[in-house]
Chains A and B, each alone.
Chain A
Amino acid sequence: MSGLEELYKEIILDHYRNPRHQGELECPPAHKTEGFNPLCGDEVSLTFLIEEDSIKELRIAGQGCSISQASASMMAAAIQNKSIEEVRDLSREFKAMMSIHEETIINADQEPVSPVALTLGDLEALKGVVKFPVRIKCATLSWNTLLTGLDDLDT
């Protein structure tokens, strides 16, 4: 079961069992954004409060598998009080980590290569997901949903 342990790291299971930042903020003043994974029916609903170009607070609602729930929980913890620009940078790093490189497919033992130096902290625990391509969308669902919500602010 070594493959499974790589996917389901202890810290992921912890975030899954004890998800942080659950619930909904009142809109307005908060903003709301929703995302769906059409493959499995998972749904995430994010409400977030912007103050002085920073994400002051973010709450997560919805339903999903351990990977999508843990990823959302870890994302919420990681972006708290970060500026929108920093959040975008972080999401780029995260999605780079989640992108499939040829070498990871050919040689499953090799670590995935990221173009940027990782500063993801706990989020790095999700690195193992890359070896299970079907699950990448689970890990990126909350990030893509948040990015859509941030893009909507500009329009």
Chain B
Amino acid sequence: MTLPSDLKHRFPLLSQVVNGHNIVYLDSAASSQKPDCVIDAMNHYYETINANVHRGAYEIAAQATEEMEQARKRIANFIGCDSPHEVVFTKNATESFNLIARSWGGSNLSQGDAVLITDMEHHANIVPWQILSAEKGFEIRWLPLTPDGLLDLDQLDQLLDGVKMVSVTAMSNVLGTLNPISEIAERAHAAGALVAVDGSQYVPHLPTDVHELQADLLCFTGHKMCGPTGIGVLWGREELLDSMPPFLGGGEMILDVRRDGFTANELPHKFEAGTPPIAEIIGLGAAVDFLNSLGMQNVRDHEIALTDYALRSLNDRYGEEIVIHGPSDPLQRGGVISLEYRGVHPHDLSQVLDQRGICIRAGHHCAKPLMKELGVPATSRASMYLYNDESDVDALVDSLESAGEMFAL
């Protein structure tokens, strides 16, 4: 099975013309484009059943609640978890990590404890721990990388001593590296630590099963997986989520409020204060249906083939002139390609590409500690998804040369 060849037609934005060129969208690691069915599902909600959920006894309020909770079930199935109660809706993966740090960390971490993160984390999995550490005085440890951009697992066991939480990305948003989460989880659990996983770059691109990952917590975001912005997910094992105190307080997250206190609601509502992003949840449900209709293994196979093609095309054409960070084996990485070309600054490179309608990302990709490890202030990053094809890669490869002519020193 392969992906349909005309997938681009399902994404209205991909038929746009930018600077006189058909758009070549290579920034899906930042945010993916949305298929027609996701846009339609959100419009359908607003046009036919827009009402607040979990309250009104009238017909459209009941329908809105039903559609939202159906979406939760389909999202739970999508990541292989047992119960929709384990799927908590947040604003994005960043909020999911803040929830973990504030709720679990706030009640479990103190001086003498340690949290282990890695040198390839996104700021979303760094700064919430740093904020909390400034209050609680626990230690933050960093698992280093090998020269080819993999986690240095030889140092894992020794670093795990005294660690209560290992918080690690399943796939680097800069290097593309796929990390052996289940192996890390086994070793972390053996050392008595819990494991939180950043699935922001993983869940949109590979078949995901929380039991296979052996994680305790998983964070991901809707807008990188064909869904809308403003909707993220925290999955957690039920007994773990049950043991964690509420995060934000307000409506929806309570069973009872008295003058002398409150009683928190059941999962998952305990963590969902206020009116949820209903249209976005329904949109993410439609995105999950869309991905299921394609088959996530087909999505992964497509991206392996396209990554292989991109790495070969770039290396064949530019050889020594180009440095591509991260693993060279497409099976060890996703379709995120961070590159340096003839010393051209990423800002200048992306500006030249933009004139040809090619969208890539220039910058530190919210991973400044990693940039420091790589010894660069920024990289140019092209990232691919299910709608990209070889013509997009060809456009990128062809355009690098003109940037080099203009800016190479």
Query: Which residue of chain B has the shortest Cβ distance to A62 in the bound complex?
Result: B377
Given A3-B355, A138-B347, verify A17-B378 contact (CB < 8 Å).
no
Which residues on B sit within 8 Å (CB–CB) of A17? 409
Whether A1 contacts B355 by the Cβ 8 Å rule is yes
**Size class of the B contact interface (CB-based, 8 Å):** 10 to 19
Number of A-B contacts (CB under 8 A): 48
A43 to B362, CA, bound (A): 15
A153 contacts the other chain (CB 8 A): no
Which residues on A sit within 8 Å (CB–CB) of B351? 4, 7, 132, 135
A63 to B348, CA, bound (A): 13
Contact partner of B406 (CB less than 8 A), chosen from A13, A39, A65, is: A13
Query: Which residue of chain A has the shortest Cβ distance to B352 in the bound complex?
Result: A4
Whether B348 contacts A39 by the Cβ 8 Å rule is no
Chain A positions 40-85 with a Cβ under 8 Å from a chain B Cβ: 40-43, 63-67
B368 contacts the other chain (CB 8 A): yes
Contact partner of A40 (CB less than 8 A), chosen from B19, B346, B352, is: B346
B364 contacts the other chain (CB 8 A): yes
A3 to B377, CA, bound (A): 26
Whether B355 contacts A40 by the Cβ 8 Å rule is no
Contact partner of A135 (CB less than 8 A), chosen from B347, B363, B368, B407, is: B347
Whether A8 contacts B347 by the Cβ 8 Å rule is no
A52 to B407, CA, bound (A): 39
Which residues on B sit within 8 Å (CB–CB) of A132? 351
A66 to B362, CA, bound (A): 14
Chain A positions 1-21 with a Cβ under 8 Å from a chain B Cβ: 1, 3-4, 7-8, 13, 16-17
Chain B positions 328-352 with a Cβ under 8 Å from a chain A Cβ: 345-348, 351-352
A17 to B408, CA, bound (A): 9
Whether B364 contacts A41 by the Cβ 8 Å rule is yes
Number of interface residues of A (CB under 8 A): 21
Which residues on B sit within 8 Å (CB–CB) of A67? 347-348
Given A3-B19, A4-B355, A65-B345, verify A40-B362 contact (CB < 8 Å).
yes
Which residues on A sit within 8 Å (CB–CB) of B346? 40, 65
A66 to B409, CA, bound (A): 11
Whether B377 contacts A43 by the Cβ 8 Å rule is yes
Contact partner of B368 (CB less than 8 A), chosen from A7, A41, A63, is: A41
Which residues on A sit within 8 Å (CB–CB) of B368? 41
Which residues on B sit within 8 Å (CB–CB) of A3? 19, 355
Which residues on B sit within 8 Å (CB–CB) of A41? 363-364, 368, 371, 377-378
Given A40-B363, A41-B363, A41-B377, verify A8-B406 contact (CB < 8 Å).
yes
A3 to B351, CA, bound (A): 10
Output the least CB separation between B361 and chain A (Å). 10
A42 to B377, CA, bound (A): 6
Whether B348 contacts A65 by the Cβ 8 Å rule is yes
A1 to B363, CA, bound (A): 23
Which residues on A sit within 8 Å (CB–CB) of B348? 65-67
Contact partner of B378 (CB less than 8 A), chosen from A4, A16, A40, is: A40
Which residues on A sit within 8 Å (CB–CB) of B19? 3
A136 to B97, CA, bound (A): 33
Which residues on B sit within 8 Å (CB–CB) of A135? 347, 351
Which residues on A sit within 8 Å (CB–CB) of B377? 40-43, 63-64
Chain A positions 85-116 with a Cβ under 8 Å from a chain B Cβ: none
Most buried by A among B348, B355, B362, B371: B348
A13 to B378, CA, bound (A): 20
Query: Which residue of chain B has the shortest Cβ distance to A2 in the bound complex?
Result: B355
A67 to B350, CA, bound (A): 13
Most buried by A among B19, B351, B368: B351
Extra contacts besides A16-B407, A42-B378 (13): CB < 8 Å: A3-B355, A13-B406, A39-B363, A40-B363, A41-B368, A41-B371, A41-B377, A42-B347, A42-B377, A64-B345, A65-B345, A66-B345, A135-B351
What are 11 A-B pairs with beta-carbon distances under 8 A?
Answer: A13-B407, A39-B363, A40-B378, A41-B371, A41-B377, A42-B347, A42-B378, A64-B345, A67-B347, A135-B347, A138-B347
Give B residues with C-beta under 8 Å from A. Answer: 19, 345-348, 351-352, 355, 362-364, 368, 371, 377-378, 406-407, 409
Q: Sorted from nearest, which 9 A-B pairs have the closest CB atoms? A: A65-B347, A65-B345, A41-B377, A41-B364, A41-B378, A40-B363, A66-B348, A40-B378, A65-B348
